[in-house]
């Protein structure tokens, strides 16, 4: 899926139709976390189906990119896989005169990806840290075959990159041998194509790769809800100021049972228990 996606679903059959057609009553622009882009697209599609006349744009690029767009006033909602930093909040105040409003909108497991041909399927947090800081360089040290480890990471503008560095590497620097890629989809492709590779990203990605157990616990929604999977986090919306009108209505819908059902259907973890 490309980073930039225009989603326009209106009542009319198509824009090129010669007959009269409804114009969007409101337009909402979202940009930010690549971890959230699948979910952002699904929210936008579902919301526009339920609210004919709405036009929504959902775009990735990384959390830092989304925050920058919010600071510039180019978007209505920043999607983020980490809390906004103090320096970013300060720049928002200086540029726009607002501190920003945050919303918890979903949860996600940060999953460790390996190739299906890799026999290593269970790692500890300490081993993952040693892998991505370059202390472990051969799969044989972890019970795998004698092969060099290929590290694949998100780029520094990603909230996932920073979360992983802070919570898994405990502030240590990434190995100098790591390849830094611009999207989670690129990481999934790299791991799927190379039996030596290891990467990380959201639980909703990568059906053709293996999601490793961490400390003996599988990265599943049930384990995240139970608090047993050790690498789990909240996902966020940020707005420049207290939202109103169409933006508030959309956020309220995202936080409702309908919006959280989309979270569950898309492979992320809803904020509420979705009883059937």
pLDDT tens-digit profile of 77-129? 999 999 999 999 999 999 999 999 999 999 999 999 999 999 999 999 999 99
- Averaged pLDDT in 10-residue chunks for the chain of 276 residues: 37 33 72 94 96 94 95 97 94 95 95 97 98 98 97 93 94 96 93 97 89 96 92 96 96 97 94 71
Range of the domain at 39: 4-107+234-265
Number of structural domains found in the chain: 2
Classify residue 222: in a domain, yes or no: yes
Output the pLDDT for position 275: 62
**What does the alpha-carbon distance between residue 119 and residue 155 come to, in Å, rounded to a whole number?**
27
For residues 165 and 136, membership in a common domain is answered with yes
For residues 151 and 240, membership in a common domain is answered with no
**What does the alpha-carbon distance between residue 151 and residue 149 come to, in Å, rounded to a whole number?**
6
CATH number of the domain that residue 250 is part of: 3.40.190.10
Classify residue 271: in a domain, yes or no: no
For residues 115 and 222, membership in a common domain is answered with yes
pLDDT tens-digit profile of 150-176? 999 999 989 999 999 999 999 999 999
Each as own residue / partner, the long-range contacts of residues 249-258 (CB below 8 Å, 24 or more positions apart, any chain) are 250/28, 250/47, 250/56, 250/77, 251/77, 251/103, 251/105, 253/47, 253/50, 254/43, 254/103, 254/105, 255/103, 255/105, 258/46, 258/50
Output the pLDDT for position 5: 38
**What pTM was computed for the model?**
0.83
**What does the alpha-carbon distance between residue 83 and residue 116 come to, in Å, rounded to a whole number?**
33
The percent of the chain in helix, strand and coil, each rounded to the nearest 5, is 35, 25, 45
């Amino acid at each position: 899926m490309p980073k930039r996606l225009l989603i326009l679903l209106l009542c009319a059959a198509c824009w090129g139709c010669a007959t009269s057609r409804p114009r969007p009553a409101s337009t909402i622009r979202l940009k930010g976390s690549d971890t959230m882009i699948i979910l952002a697209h699904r929210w936008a599609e579902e919301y526009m189906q339920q609210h004919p006349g709405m036009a929504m744009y959902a775009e990735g690029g990384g959390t830092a990119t989304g925050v920058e767009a919010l600071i510039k006033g180019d978007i209505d909602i920043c999607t983020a896989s980490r809390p906004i930093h103090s320096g970013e909040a300060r720049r928002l105040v200086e540029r726009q005169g607002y501190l920003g409003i945050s919303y918890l909108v979903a949860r996600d497991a940060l999953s460790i990806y390996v190739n299906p041909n890799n026999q290593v399927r269970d790692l500890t947090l300490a081993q993952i840290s040693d892998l991505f800081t370059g202390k472990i360089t051969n799969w044989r040290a972890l019970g795998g075959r004698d092969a060099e480890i290929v590290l694949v990471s998100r780029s520094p503008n990603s909230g996932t990159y920073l979360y992983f560095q802070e919570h898994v590497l405990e502030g240590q620097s990434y190995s100098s041998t790591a390849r830094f890629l611009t999207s989670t989809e690129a990481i999934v492709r790299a791991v799927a194509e190379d039996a030596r590779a290891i990467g990380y990203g959201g639980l909703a990605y990568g059906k053709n790769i293996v999601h490793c157990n961490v400390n003996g616990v599988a990265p599943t929604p049930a384990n995240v809800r139970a608090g047993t999977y050790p690498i789990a986090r909240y996902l966020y919306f940020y707005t420049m100021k207290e939202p109103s009108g169409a933006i508030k209505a959309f956020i309220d819908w995202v936080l409702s049972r309908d919006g959280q059902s989309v979270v569950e259907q898309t492979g992320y973890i809803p904020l509420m228990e979705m009883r059937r």
